[in-house]
A and B are shown apart, each in its own frame.
Chain A
């Protein structure tokens, strides 16, 4: 399967990249290419122009500042997986990264690419929502910030407008007491998740003061299981409470059916995975 013909450029600055995108309506951004290239090879995508942003300076850094952990959009998955800063400031992401594809894909694939692709079964979008991350978006004439919860609009659909480029994801510093646990069920190591859970709980006096239960693979976007979270609120993380949260979560989601799993299977797996993930989270030291 060879791609349909396209024109290619590799701008040296962000401004040039934004200008090029503005000039060509049928342009697509090429970052890691690990999702775009298969689509091009299969002719599922046939852009007239590819704008290669891999050489744009300053977008691949990972650093911690007062605003939180800033992961540049061009940071490669493998760099994020190995980063001690990510382990310290966003352990949820650190736990998710080994599930992302395989080494040869992680060396090229980017955080920004995964977030902008918005595959409902991907790990990073669910983590971003669970961490209340903020996505920085560059456009001609400025920058804007979009909270993760508002960023993912539908399957392969985000708040990015034509001509915009994601530049970073910022994970705000968590208040003390948060515990994070990521869990995933996939038929084979490295596959897209059948279901995945990004679970976070902040405990006060042994009770859940706040939580985030965000699921991948059960909807058109990452799904925040608010009723599951509500079942946990103000209660200890014991098995009865966890079971109730699991039931509430299973009832509130509306998963799709596809060749990999029926809706009934996804619903069941989501419940089981959420319960197990919360059970593990409960045993962790904060």
Chain B
């Protein structure tokens, strides 16, 4: 009975419903507890001296004046941490040939990016720590900088880490079918080069950590604004030389992360090491200037693509060359190769042509390190692919919708494997397209666009179809040697009063893990959702798990919760059977009441069952043991990823006089499998879409020739604000995965995956009658006007 598939009457099921999030009230009342809200006795604050140079030798550092400042407790350099924290190298075995240099919490001898932490001042307050940093006297000897990915591999370019031999972090060549033959046979070839601007996450809550080392027991407790507490626990234990069981990582409320907070940062490692050194709690909160310089950056790519087609729009083959310039180190432990790897592997995935060749080169630069950020690689892959599709359609005089339809992987082809080895269980491209066209009244908008062109108003409509990899299995990181868990667990405990406490290894950063899991658990167990309490983010309390990344919460955490809920229900009914002297199969648990399975008559209240099980087991049969705490784990084994798919449409108006792009509307239809809470999914899509719009139009980490970051403040780096953003209409198709009982897939990144491509295509659609085209992001007024030939 516990092993049978879940059969819950619709009225008792929370799946597919949108109750308000349990956490909402607390956050609305201002009772969120974020890492900077954590205060511990004798806590100190750390501020960092960061390299002002992109590349420089540290000739000397005089800390005497800083040490003499009242309130400054210690000045720490790389040498001081050498015996405390071991360095790390950000490579994984399954990226063959990948190389990177060892990185330390504080730079030793040489800084290789502007913003790299070089020394730390620990003081009674953050302000005093900054006063101390201001008193550090450092002599720098600037070194030549590598800041152009295009020339990073030239023989004349200095090698950042001479021991590595060159500035190549990783390279890859993919070949499927026979691309050369496809191009030889083509009626038409489109070729373009795309420049995708480097940008970053700008989480509103900056990176924050409080490390508290207790020297009496050699135990480290860390409060961390982070996505993957078990990963951090593992890294800290290994690099600080502590037993794993002596490290506890607690993630309080997290004010946005989006992948920024799932990587290992030298300043956070330094903070923990300093706590070990001093035996006192130490807090580090990155201020906004530090965030721009030292949060991981992402998406700095130059992609050249060629698409071969027949005259009727059938795609025959494609070639892609992706050059991406990361920082001077590959980031630990997930590596900075993943973004490029995903870019070249995802690009052709929506379409059925088989002939595909791709080359990837990931090169080191003296810039802020780069790593996974929401929708890793997807936005670039689909901006490139879909821009090529639209261009081909235009040049061949074909309808862009029909070209997509003609080339989609269609319903009858599943299951199948993509050109680059991704397994697709079942996707719904055609359904999503049809739904999107209806939802957006696409044809009518095209007609309106055409009409307005005659009046000199240039509007554009841009489609972007995409797939999204979610709920990854162990092949993603584990096989490469990373101690990153792809499995996850859910523990459910029935409280004596009838409540259900749920602890889980997936975490919360605002996406609504609390609601999503409460809904699954309430449904599977058979209690009202209000009786379920979800706790996340404490390695001491939660089952061992992976946290949040690659949209795994619903597909993996939700499935573990479902199985755990079924098991708990089974155990509850066994107790009820023992109490009522009947077969557990004759009973059911619905809305918190034990009922007759056939008649629905209420037999027992859950609180009564709890009282007896916990306090009066003497009234139960002698050989009966109640088991009202249950744990189930889940890891996806049957497919490497549960792929999802969708399609977006952007509607823009381009002011050809000023180059400004106005967003008139945005639509998205997405298939993330069985939806647990539709409103939460819609809101994930909307937030993710706006992040993608930010990349498409506004956000750019700009460097000068000396490797100085020019967009290092909120005034210079432009994030999307409310006035410029469109209303976003969302629709859904549901193709559950058959490989997990719940059928849930991930949804967190789909919005960002498709939005930049949709906006790019819309702008190009608007500019097409004027013979202009843009292939770079962000699409600033300068980019538009240059495309129009309006600037000298």
A–B: direct contact at CB < 8 Å = yes
Number of A interface residues at 8 Å Cβ cutoff, please give it.
Answer: 26
A-B contact pairs, 24 of them (CB 8 A): A1-B288, A2-B126, A2-B127, A4-B131, A5-B131, A42-B289, A43-B134, A185-B658, A185-B660, A187-B660, A187-B781, A188-B698, A188-B723, A189-B721, A189-B723, A189-B724, A259-B710, A260-B716, A262-B791, A264-B782, A264-B791, A268-B790, A269-B781, A272-B658
Q: A42-B289, A185-B658, A185-B660 are in contact. List 7 more A-B contacts (CB 8 A).
A: A2-B126, A43-B134, A187-B724, A191-B718, A259-B711, A259-B716, A265-B791
Any B CB within 8 A of the CB of A192 = yes
Q: In the complex, which residue of chain B has the Cβ closest to the Cβ of A260?
A: B716
Any B CB within 8 A of the CB of A261 = yes
Contacts of B287 in A (CB 8 A): 1
Partner of B782 from the list A1, A3, A262 (CB cut-off 8 Å) is A262
| Cα of A1 to Cα of B129 in the assembled complex, Å | 10
Interface of B is mostly: loop
B interface with A by C-beta (< 8 Å) = 125-127, 130-131, 134, 287-289, 657-660, 698, 702, 710-711, 713, 715-716, 718, 721, 723-724, 780-782, 785, 790-792
Interface centre among B125, B657, B702 (most CB of A within 10 A): B657
Contacts of B126 in A (CB 8 A): 2
Contacts of B791 in A (CB 8 A): 262, 264-265, 268
> Are A1 and B131 also in contact (CB < 8 A) when A188-B723, A261-B782, A272-B658 are?
no
Q: Which of A221-249 contact B (CB under 8 A)?
A: none
Partner of A188 from the list B131, B716, B724 (CB cut-off 8 Å) is B724
| Cα of A2 to Cα of B47 in the assembled complex, Å | 11
> Which 9 A-B residue pairs are closest in the complex by CB-CB distance?
A2-B127, A189-B723, A259-B710, A272-B657, A1-B287, A264-B791, A265-B782, A188-B721, A2-B130
| Cα of A4 to Cα of B129 in the assembled complex, Å | 11
Q: In the complex, which residue of chain A has the Cβ closest to the Cβ of B287?
A: A1
| Cα of A262 to Cα of B785 in the assembled complex, Å | 12
Q: In the complex, which residue of chain B has the Cβ closest to the Cβ of A271?
A: B657
| Cα of A264 to Cα of B780 in the assembled complex, Å | 14
Contacts of B289 in A (CB 8 A): 1, 42
Q: In the complex, which residue of chain A has the Cβ closest to the Cβ of B790?
A: A268
Q: Which of A8-28 contact B (CB under 8 A)?
A: none
Contacts of A1 in B (CB 8 A): 130, 287-289
Contacts of B715 in A (CB 8 A): 191-192
Contacts of A268 in B (CB 8 A): 785, 790-791
- Contact of B288 with A265 in the complex, beta carbons under 8 Å: no
- Taken residue by residue from 256 to 277, chain A's Cβ proximity to chain B (1 for < 8 Å, 0 otherwise) reads as 0001111011001100110010
Contacts of B660 in A (CB 8 A): 185, 187
- Contact of B718 with A188 in the complex, beta carbons under 8 Å: yes
State how many angstroms separate the Cβ of B311 from the closest Cβ of chain A. 40
Contacts of B710 in A (CB 8 A): 259
| Cα of A3 to Cα of B127 in the assembled complex, Å | 7
| Cα of A2 to Cα of B289 in the assembled complex, Å | 12
Q: Which of A35-84 contact B (CB under 8 A)?
A: 42-43
Contacts of A4 in B (CB 8 A): 130-131, 134
| Cα of A283 to Cα of B698 in the assembled complex, Å | 34
Interface centre among B130, B715, B781, B791 (most CB of A within 10 A): B781
Interface centre among A2, A190, A262 (most CB of B within 10 A): A2
Interface centre among A192, A269, A276 (most CB of B within 10 A): A269
Contacts of A259 in B (CB 8 A): 702, 710-711, 716
| Cα of A2 to Cα of B71 in the assembled complex, Å | 15
Interface centre among A5, A191, A272, A273 (most CB of B within 10 A): A272
Contacts of B657 in A (CB 8 A): 272, 276
Q: Which of A191-237 contact B (CB under 8 A)?
A: 191-192, 194
Q: In the complex, which residue of chain B has the Cβ closest to the Cβ of A1?
A: B287
Contacts of A276 in B (CB 8 A): 657
Interface centre among A189, A259, A261 (most CB of B within 10 A): A259
Contacts of A43 in B (CB 8 A): 130, 134
Q: In the complex, which residue of chain A has the Cβ closest to the Cβ of B713?
A: A42
| Cα of A190 to Cα of B716 in the assembled complex, Å | 14
Contacts of A260 in B (CB 8 A): 716
State how many angstroms separate the Cβ of B419 from the closest Cβ of chain A. 39
Q: Which of A101-124 contact B (CB under 8 A)?
A: none
State how many angstroms separate the Cβ of B122 from the closest Cβ of chain A. 15
